[in-house]
C-alpha cells in the first residue's frame, strides 16, 4: 500500500461525513466517534474523505494540501448555460488549416481527464496528434482496414453468408468502397482535414476502458465547444482499430498494450453553427 490515511483526533468533529461518503467502506467507528481508517487498503483514492471533511482532519498521503482546492461556486454555469452548451455542441467537420494552439488542446485534455472512471482507475491516457504525417498515417490505416472489409463483403461467394451473419454492415459498404478513392484524391474521408486528433486509450487489462474513454471524450467535446473548436468523434478510426485487433493502431501511436477506445478529430471551424435543431422526440420511461 503506497499511501497512508488517518484521522487527526484533535481536529475531527465526529460528523461522520468521511465514512458516509467513502465509496469503499474504508472507515469504521460508530456515530459521534472519531472514525478509524481500518480498511485503508480498500481505498480507491477518490479523495472524497479529504474533500468532504469540514475540519481538515483527514490525512491522506495522496492528497496533500496543495492537491485540495476550494470549489468556487460563483464560477459555476447556470443550468441554462449548461444546457445551451450541450445544445450547441455539434459535430463540425469543416476545418480551416490553421493549427489549434497547444494550450487549447491542453484544456480539452484537462476537461477529458476530469471525467469519472470505473473504481477511479484513472487509466485513460491521451495521445494528441498534430503531425500531418501521423494524421495521414491514421487515415491511411483506417481506410486500408475498411478497404479489405469491403473486398470481403463484395465477394460473391461470401456475400450470401455474410448477409445472414452481419447484414447491417452492408449499409456501410458504399462508404467503404469510396474511401480509398477519396483518400488517393487528397480528400480525407476519415479525418476530414482535421489539424489535430486526440486519441483516448487505456490499458487492455482494465475492465471499463471503453466506458472510461468515452466519458472522457464527452467532457472533452463540451470543452472544445466552449473554446470555439470544431470536433467530431472518430468512430471509423476506433472501429478500424477494433476490427484489426487493436495492435496496429497502437503501434502507429507508440502505445503498445493500450487500446484506443475513443477519438476526437479537431480543427478551427470554417463555419460555426448559429442555430441548433431539435432532436427526435425523447424516449423516456418513468417508473
CB of 238 to ligand FMN, least distance (A): 7
CB of 31 to ligand FMN, least distance (A): 47
261 binds ligand FMN (CB under 6 A): no
CA 155 to chain centre: 37
Stretch that binds ligand FMN, among 25-33, 154-162, 167-175, 229-237 (CB under 6 A): 229-237
CB of 264 to ligand FMN, least distance (A): 10
- Cβ-based neighbours of 265, under 8 Å, separated by 6 or more: 93, 191, 192, 194, 196, 197, 231, 232, 233, 234
For every residue of 238-287, DSSP letters joined together read HHHHHHTTSHHHHHHHT-TTEEEEEEEEEE-BSS------PPSPP-----
59 binds ligand FMN (CB under 6 A): no
Cell of 197: 486528433
Environment class of 10 (CB within 10 Å of its CB; exposed 0-12, middle 13-18, buried 19+): exposed
Q: At what angle do helices 132-154 and 173-184 cross, to 10 degrees?
A: 140
Binding mask 90-129 for ligand FMN (x = CB under 6 A): xx-x------------------------------------
CB of 260 to ligand FMN, least distance (A): 13
142 binds ligand FMN (CB under 6 A): no
- Residue count at the site for ligand FMN (CB under 6 A)? 8
Cell of 264: 476526437
Binding mask 61-90 for ligand FMN (x = CB under 6 A): -----------------------------x
Residues facing 197 on adjacent strands: 129, 265
CB of 202 to ligand FMN, least distance (A): 16
Q: Which is nearer to ligand FMN, 19 or 150 (CB)?
A: 150
Amino acid at each position: 500500500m503506497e499511501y497512508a490515511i488517518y484521522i487527526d483526533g484533535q481536529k475531527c468533529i465526529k460528523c461522520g461525513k468521511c465514512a458516509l461518503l467513502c465509496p469503499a467502506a474504508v472507515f469504521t467507528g460508530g456515530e459521534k466517534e472519531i472514525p478509524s481508517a481500518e480498511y485503508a487498503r480498500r481505498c480507491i483514492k477518490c479523495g472524497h474523505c479529504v474533500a468532504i471533511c469540514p475540519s481538515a482532519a483527514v490525512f491522506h498521503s495522496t492528497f496533500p494540501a496543495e492537491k485540495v482546492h476550494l470549489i468556487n461556486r460563483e464560477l459555476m454555469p447556470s443550468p441554462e448555460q449548461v444546457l445551451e452548451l450541450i445544445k450547441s455542441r455539434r459535430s463540425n467537420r469543416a476545418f480551416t488549416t490553421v493549427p489549434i494552439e497547444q494550450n487549447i488542446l491542453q484544456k480539452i485534455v484537462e476537461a477529458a481527464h476530469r471525467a469519472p472512471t470505473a473504481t477511479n482507475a484513472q487509466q485513460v491516457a491521451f495521445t494528441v496528434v498534430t503531425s500531418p504525417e501521423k494524421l495521414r498515417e491514421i487515415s491511411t490505416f483506417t481506410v486500408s482496414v475498411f478497404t479489405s472489409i469491403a473486398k470481403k463483403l463484395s465477394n460473391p461467394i461470401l456475400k450470401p453468408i455474410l448477409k445472414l451473419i452481419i447484414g447491417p454492415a452492408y449499409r456501410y459498404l458504399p462508404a467503404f468502397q469510396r474511401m480509398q478513392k477519396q483518400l488517393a484524391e487528397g480528400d480525407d474521408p476519415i479525418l476530414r482535414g482535421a489539424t489535430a486528433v486526440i486519441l483516448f486509450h487505456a490499458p487492455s487489462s482494465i475492465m471499463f476502458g471503453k466506458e472510461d474513454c468515452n466519458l472522457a471524450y464527452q467532457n472533452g467535446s463540451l470543452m472544445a465547444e466552449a473554446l470555439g473548436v470544431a470536433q467530431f468523434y472518430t468512430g471509423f478510426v476506433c472501429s478500424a482499430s477494433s476490427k484489426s485487433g487493436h495492435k496496429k493502431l497502437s503501434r502507429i501511436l507508440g502505445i503498445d498494450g493500450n487500446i484506443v477506445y475513443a477519438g476526437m478529430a479537431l480543427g478551427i471551424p470554417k463555419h460555426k453553427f448559429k442555430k441548433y435543431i431539435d432532436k427526435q422526440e425523447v424516449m423516456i420511461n418513468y417508473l
